[in-house]
Amino acid sequence: MKKLPFSLVVLSLFSGLLSAQNPDPEVEKKAAELLQSMTIQEKIGQLCQVNGAYGGIPEELGKQVREGRAGSILNEVDTKTLNELQRIAVEESRLGIPLIFARDVIHGFRTILPIPLGQAATWNPELVERGAHIAAVEAASAGLHWTFAPMIDICRDPRWGRIAESLGEDPFLASELGVAMVRGFQGESLADKGAIAACAKHFVGYGAAEGGRDYNSANIPENELYNIYLPPFKACADAGVATFMPTFNDVNGVPASGNPFLFRKVLREDWGFNGFVVSDWESVRQLTVHGVAADNKEAARQATLAGIDMEMASTTYADHLLELVEQGAVPEAVVDEAVRNILRVKLQLGLFEHPYTDPSDFPALANDAHRAVAEQAALQSCVLLRNDGQALPLEAGKLQRLALIGPLADDPYEQLGTWIFDGDPQHTVTPLAALRTALGDKASVQFVKALETSRSRSQAAFPDAVRAAREADAVVLFLGEESILSGEAHSRAHLGLPGAQLELIKAVAETGKPIITVVMAGRPLALGPALEYSDALLFAWHPGTMGGPAIARLLLGLESPSGKLPVTFPTTAGQIPMYYNHKNTGKPATEESYIHIDDIPVRAPQTSVGNTSYYLDAGYKPLFPFGFGLSYSQFEYRNLRLREPAVSPGDTLVVMVELANTGNYEAEEVAQLYIRDVVSSIARPVKELKGFQRIRLKPGESRTATFHLPTEHLAYYYPGKGWMAEPGQFEIFVGGDSDTGFKVSCEIR
């Protein structure tokens, strides 16, 4: 029976009144004074972001800055050049307004952490925050003030290359980790030394691009937009993120860079955001390519009116905005608003008081403390997907010869991953180097690359790999994707291991030796064939600078794997989209209803197949579910209970469960809490993540984990009605992944 809603529970998650950022009166006063003294040409200059010259200052660039025709410079990282550009702006321009220097600092500056999807696998907001802080300090030491991160696009399609930059498929997890990144980048105050402005991108729906093809259209129903794609952005807005960036693609037919609903209505009016919005690279000019603007002048008009404050790279604002204002097509008040938003952030960053950078004020790049955090992030990001017969950990005392085989065992560059413009492979420690150091003279390590790259098809070196495997006590294969195979504009239609990697596994497996496979990749892969020949499989993503020592510690049992998947791993690309928080449908698949294509009798009646929702040739389950990850130890969940079985609106539901380490290793478990609204006036997901805790236990130790779940977190966006938590029965699940867990019921009165 359909439930009648009690009065709307408007979440702080989506309440513009509650979340409006409180402006600093002194900052607002200074911004207003500056704005009043600016010419229209100087105002337009603040809206223009210019690409740097990569180490020099061409005459035209210096002239632009001197004349106040540039508000920001991107992609310049030479500190002397940045300081000179800033000197020209501060000392030679009429008003002395400083520039803001920007760069893609996505998962590290010089010290590279795991790709963001790998960091999401840590399920550890504190560690993610520390990593972002390190990236900010290193970037700030070079003279940068602003990064285009975090990328909090929800992605349910691993074919999309930029899933590597995302925080996965779940809005709750992405919100928690996205906010952690914002805190890490921005610190307590943007004016703090080592703090840089963060940018929530790409607003909104980039990860929903059709077919996983980058830049492609996204068609998102209202309930999915509000329940799935917007929450991480709202969470970051509430956390005080300084800037936003639109997605490249069109959302429901309207390109985001010309979409006033997103930036005027949702971002400004509903959420009270008072930072500024920067376009993505040439995305304003691309309104003409989308076919919604006849020319660049019209593109500038649409973007300005939509709320895009600063234009990146292209020059439609510089070329046409003055004329648009003079013609009345763009009110000068709209330009004033954009300038005020930009000046506000520059003032918050303290650029007027401290425009220059002295690298000696900062710790050394890639120092030991930074590398230690990168190693810990890599360690907690690795996900153990298989461990048959306790193939792992390796017992160092019993090893005499270890064979390391594969193109990614000793490649300092490739393990860094996508989008690492300022990373230095010289700082990288590879698995080969780390294992040789860890084993010392206790065991010899023989390395055979076997394939020149992850895409190579030549099997000429396979005999050497087979020979090394036969002579070894243990075999570890390092496979996966090169970093260039994921990231922007690097979508893949097929998710298997590229090149001849599968043939390499088969060849080595014929030796009869246990096979341990370590996969480095920027996305989930369809690993079924590789699993057939692997006794153990550790998924390491692209683990960054210190991936080697982290992997070595895990392989040798110095630490137990504790990563959990932040995204579902499909069996095959043909199952996509596949995600845990799907609707149940009216005919959900079950073990009893599933019949494989090979088991259907010839000329069987149509009804013999079972008439439920699944693929005849790939079933209905993923290869690995969201939240999955094995440990060297074992954990048991016991005595799941509620403090009160029924709560009223505004109350907090208290959920308790006992977690016990029943294995032989000290280890960490990520306990995950999911809910399900049993009966709702619209279909809700079968499960929704609403809490998680990372808990470390010694063998035999147990601990009670307590989750506090405000009733507003049980709410859902209902199209035409807004956010509400309907009264009735909810199921609460707590377990080690989205496909398991004990269940208890509660009621909202």
Q: What is the pLDDT of residues 336-365, one digit of tens each?
A: 999 999 999 999 999 999 999 999 999 999
Domain match, 645 and 550 both: no
Cis peptide before 678 (omega within 30 of 0): no
Q: How far apart, in whole angstroms, are the C-alpha atoms of residue 409 and residue 417?
A: 14
DSSP 345: H
Q: What is the pLDDT of residue 23?
A: 80
Same domain, yes or no: 404 and 521: yes
Q: Do 230 and 256 touch, CB atoms closer than 8 A?
A: no
Averaged pLDDT for residues 385-395 = 96
The CA-atom distances, in angstroms, between 214 and each of 113, 155, 572, 596 are 24, 12, 20, 33
**Cα separation of 363 and 367, whole Å?**
7
Q: Over the stretch 58-86, which tens digit does the pLDDT of each residue have? A: 999 999 999 999 999 999 999 999 999 99
pLDDT digit string (tens) for 288-331? 999 999 999 999 999 999 999 999 999 999 999 999 999 999 99
CATH number (domain holding residue 711): 2.60.40.10
> How many other CB atoms are there within 10 angstroms of residue 607's CB atom?
7
Residues 387, 525 within the same domain: yes
Average pLDDT over residues 177-199: 98
Q: What is the pLDDT of residue 1?
A: 33
280 among known catalytic residues: yes
Same domain, 400 and 511: yes
- Smallest CA-to-CA distance from 712 within 644, 648, 653, 650 is with 650
Other beta carbons within 10 angstroms of residue 582's beta carbon come to 16
pLDDT range class, residue 432, cuts 50, 70, 90: very high
Using a cut of 0.85, tell me whether the model's pTM lies above it: yes
Check whether 17 has a pLDDT greater than 50. no
Residues 435 and 550 in one domain: yes
Residue 338 makes CB contacts below 8 A (sequence gap 6+) with: 46, 47, 276, 304, 309, 310
**Domains held by the chain: number:** 2
Give per-residue pLDDT as tens, 260-295. 999 999 999 999 999 999 999 999 999 999 999 999
pLDDT the model gives residue 396: 83
The 8 Å CB, 24+ separation contacts for 368-371 are 370/111, 370/134, 370/138, 371/111, 371/427, 371/545, 371/546
687 part of a folded domain: yes
Q: What is the pLDDT of residues 623-635, one digit of tens each?
A: 999 999 999 999 9
The answer to whether 651 and 631 have CB atoms below 8 angstroms apart is no
- Is the same domain home to 546 and 397? yes
Looking at residues 671-676, what average pLDDT do you find?
98
Confidence of residue 604 (pLDDT cuts 50, 70, 90): confident
Looking at the fold, whether 515 and 639 belong to one and the same domain comes out as no
Mean pLDDT of 565-589: 97
Can you give the C-alpha Rg of the chain in angstroms? 27
Look at residue 22 in the predicted model and tell me its pLDDT: 73
pLDDT mean across residues, the chain: 95
Q: Last residue of a domain, which of 555, 576, 595?
A: 555
In a domain, 371, yes or no: no
Q: How far apart are CA 731 and CA 389, in angstroms?
A: 35
Say yes or no: 399 and 497 in one domain. yes
Q: 600 lies in a domain? A: no
CA 581 to chain centre: 18
Helix (H, G, I), strand (E, B) or coil at 335: helix
CATH of residue 381's domain is 3.40.50.1700
Say whether both 650 and 512 belong to one domain.
Answer: no
Helices 171-186 and 125-142, packing angle to 10 deg: 40
677 domain-assigned? yes
| C-beta atoms surrounding 675 within 10 Å | 22
Calpha distance 687→71 (Å, rounded) = 46
| Boundary of a domain, candidates 555, 589, 619 | 555
**Predicted local confidence at residue 21, as pLDDT:** 60
| 453 backbone φψ class: left, alpha, beta (φ>0; ψ -120 to 50) | beta
Evaluate if residue 5 carries a pLDDT over 50. Answer: no
What residues form DSSP beta bridges with 730?
677, 746
- DSSP of 354-370: -----GGGSPPTT-HHH
For residue 516, what are the domain limits? 377-555
Residue at which a domain ends, from 504, 534, 555: 555
- 178-191 average pLDDT score: 98
User: Please, which residues have CB within 8 angstroms of residue 171's CB and are 6 or more apart in sequence?
Assistant: 154, 227, 228, 229, 231, 232
Of the residues 280, 422, 535, 677, which is catalytic?
A: 280
Q: How far apart are the first and last CA of the chain?
A: 16
**pLDDT (0 to 100) of residue 680:** 95
pLDDT of 173 > 90? The answer is: yes
**More confident position, 247 or 604:** 247
Query: Residue 741's pLDDT is what?
Result: 76
- The sheet carrying 652-661 orders its strands as 635-642, 652-661, 702-710
- 3-state DSSP call for residue 333? helix
- pLDDT, average across residues 657-661: 98
pLDDT score recorded for residue 609: 63
Q: What SS3 class is residue 93?
A: coil
* Assigned domain for 168 exists: no
Q: Is 662 in the same domain as 535?
A: no
Is the predicted pLDDT of residue 2 greater than 50, yes or no? no
Judge whether 421 lies within some domain: yes
Q: Report percent pLDDT > 70 for the chain.
A: 97
What are the residues facing 652 on neighbouring strands? 710
User: Which amino acid would we find at residue 131?
Assistant: G
420 and 537 within one domain:
yes
* pLDDT (0 to 100) of residue 3: 40
| pLDDT classification of 448: cutoffs 50, 70, 90 | very high
Which residues lie closer than 8 Å to 138 by C-beta, 6 or more apart?
A: 108, 109, 110, 111, 362, 365, 366, 370
Q: What is the mean pLDDT of residues 199-203?
A: 98
- Same domain membership, residue 679 and residue 538: no
φ and ψ at residue 118, rounded to 5 degrees: -70, -40
Q: What is the predicted pLDDT for the residue at 611?
A: 85
CA distance readout (Å), 71 to 25, 263, 310? 23, 21, 8
Q: Would 97 be classed as within a structural domain?
A: no
State the maximum Cα–Cα separation within the chain, in Å, rounded to a whole number.
84
> Could you tell me which of 554, 508, 556, 555 has the C-alpha nearest to residue 533?
508
Residue 19 has pLDDT above 70, yes or no: no
- Does residue 340 lie in a domain region? no
Instruction: Label residue 11 by pLDDT band (50, 70, 90).
Output: very low
